[in-house]
Amino acid sequence: MYVSIQELATYLGVTEDYIVEQIQLGHIKAVFDGKQFLLNKEQFSWHKEQLDIKRKQLLMELEEPLPEDWDAKDED
């Protein structure tokens, strides 16, 4: 199933500019139909899973409480 840049950006949770930049760099393969670039959505399923895992890890790190007493004495 082919999707537009906007649809892919929404699916992956990234900006359209990022997708366009990756196409220009040759990191993402796209087909130009005369009006717009079309991308195969199935090729991004693994990337979507990895992005979701990374986002969950970052949220867990942000929610982790800081130690109550952090003593930063300079021993020099």
Q: How many CB atoms lie within 10 A of CB 19?
A: 23
pTM, 2 dp = 0.65
pLDDT computed for residue 71 by the predictor: 67
Q: What is the pLDDT of residue 23?
A: 92
pLDDT along the chain (76 residues), means of 10: 92 91 91 92 86 91 78 64
Judging by DSSP bridges, how do beta strands 31-32 and 37-40 pair with one another?
antiparallel
| Residue 51 pLDDT | 86
Q: Provide the pLDDT for residue 47.
A: 83
pLDDT for 21 equals 94
Closest CA to 40 of 69, 17, 67, 7: 7
CA distances from 73 to 58, 66, 68, 70 (A): 29, 18, 15, 9
The total number of residues written for the chain in this structure: 76
